[in-house]
């Protein structure tokens, strides 16, 4: 793991702090933002203001504390002493909050995306760590981590590791989780409420995605798409699509799952998940996105068939290269 230093080292002469994560926030992003907010407000009384800026929060995370502290509008002009970007591989993915990042006196980036090249004044980036919440655990003083903070960090870790089943889970991840459990958190309820539990409508849209999925590349790649008309019909939003790509990935015989949902006319958000061979981050980065080896994403324009053909061409090349390498070894 990279060498880190405690958050306290970044707080000299700081009175106002802004925090933001990536657009369409997931569990790790939300958990990182809220845990930072709690840690800073509970332990550093000299800080006069801490503001969080995030987009629409998935319903499953509404049980977390301080949801009322999250601001969804960036219309007000502000200049923060310090602005912290978390779980965001590219500054542009901060959305409207990027203006606060650009105007801040000092910026810090905490992230675990391998594609992050470091856009802050200070950067703590570890592409080998499970989640940004695990990274934040290492820059916090353990004695200052309350039960409340531990709960939120745990949410981020379980969501980015798929409750410790993804390849990003390391022995150190399990040790961090154990230390958070020692704070007295109700870990089983956290797992149920923020990872497994879904609303009836979320299950319906998941069912549609599974029912209408298709296999390509000799059954090694599964693809599904949700259109805007589907969102309207089922009365769900983008945040309700969380977890669909991971469910597709579990299909027997599949190496890569591709899940697309429509953002506009011939405009798609793409999520990629792989098991053992394909580096999703390479594919996503080629199309202007980023992420991790086994989980990445991007946005693409074109018809559904054009987008899928472009993606599968890159995926198939990696598969063929891996097969050739295996034959030579």
Beta bridge partners of 137: none
In whole angstroms, give the CA distance from residue 325 to residue 329. 6
Q: Which DSSP state fits 58?
A: P
Contact status, residue 294 vs residue 271, Cβ threshold 8 Å = no
In whole angstroms, give the CA distance from residue 278 to residue 291. 13
Torsions phi, psi of 141, nearest 5? -75, 120
Give per-residue burial for 206-238: e unless 16+ CB within 10 Å, then b.
Answer: bebbeeebeebbeebbbbbbbeeebbeebebeb
Helical (H) or strand (E) element with 274: strand 267-274
In whole angstroms, give the CA distance from residue 116 to residue 290. 8
| Greatest pairwise CA separation for the chain in angstroms | 62
DSSP string, 101-126: HHHSSEEEEEE--TT----SSEEEE-
DSSP string, 170-230: -HHHHHHHHHHHTTT--HHHHHIIIII---HHHHHHHHHHHHT-EEETTTTEEEEEE-HHH
What pTM did the predictor assign? 0.89
In whole angstroms, give the CA distance from residue 191 to residue 162. 10
| Amino acid 1: pLDDT | 46
| Amino acid 59: pLDDT | 87
In whole angstroms, give the CA distance from residue 187 to residue 30. 17
Low pLDDT (below 50) residues in the chain: 1
Contact status, residue 307 vs residue 270, Cβ threshold 8 Å = yes
| Amino acid 295: pLDDT | 92
């Amino acid at each position: 793991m990279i060498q880190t230093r405690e958050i306290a080292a970044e707080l000299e002469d700081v009175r106002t702090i802004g925090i933001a994560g990536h657009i369409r926030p997931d569990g790790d992003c939300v958990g990182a933002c809220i845990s930072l907010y709690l840690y800073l407000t509970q332990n550093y009384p000299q800080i006069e203001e801490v503001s969080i800026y995030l987009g629409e929060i998935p319903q499953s995370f509404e049980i977390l504390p301080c949801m009322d502290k999250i601001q969804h509008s960036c219309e007000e002009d502000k200049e923060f002493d310090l602005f912290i970007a978390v779980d965001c591989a590219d500054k542009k993915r901060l959305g409207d909050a990027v203006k606060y990042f650009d105007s801040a006196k000092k910026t810090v980036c905490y992230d675990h995306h391998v594609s992050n090249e470091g856009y802050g004044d200070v950067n703590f980036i570890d592409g080998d760590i499970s989640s940004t919440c695990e990274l934040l655990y290492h820059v916090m003083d353990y004695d200052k981590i309350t039960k409340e903070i531990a709960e939120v960090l745990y949410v981020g870790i379980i969501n980015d590791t798929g409750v410790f089943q993804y390849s990003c889970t390391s022995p150190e991840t399990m040790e961090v989780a154990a230390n958070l459990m020692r704070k007295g958190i109700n870990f089983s309820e956290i797992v149920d409420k923020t990872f497994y539990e879904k609303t009836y409508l979320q299950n319906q849209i998941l069912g549609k995605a599974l029912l209408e999925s298709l296999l390509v590349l000799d059954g090694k790649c599964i693809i599904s798409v949700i259109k805007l008309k589907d969102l309207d019909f089922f009365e769900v939003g983008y945040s309700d699509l969380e977890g669909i790509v991971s469910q597709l990935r579990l299909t027997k015989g599949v190496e890569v799952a591709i899940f697309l949902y429509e953002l506009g006319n011939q405009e798609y958000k793409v999520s990629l998940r792989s098991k053992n061979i394909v580096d999703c981050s390479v594919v996503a980065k080629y199309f202007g996105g980023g992420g991790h080896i086994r989980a990445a994403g991007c946005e693409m324009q074109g018809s559904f068939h054009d987008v899928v053909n472009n993606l599968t061409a890159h995926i198939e090349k990696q598969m063929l290269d891996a097969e050739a390498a295996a034959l030579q070894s």
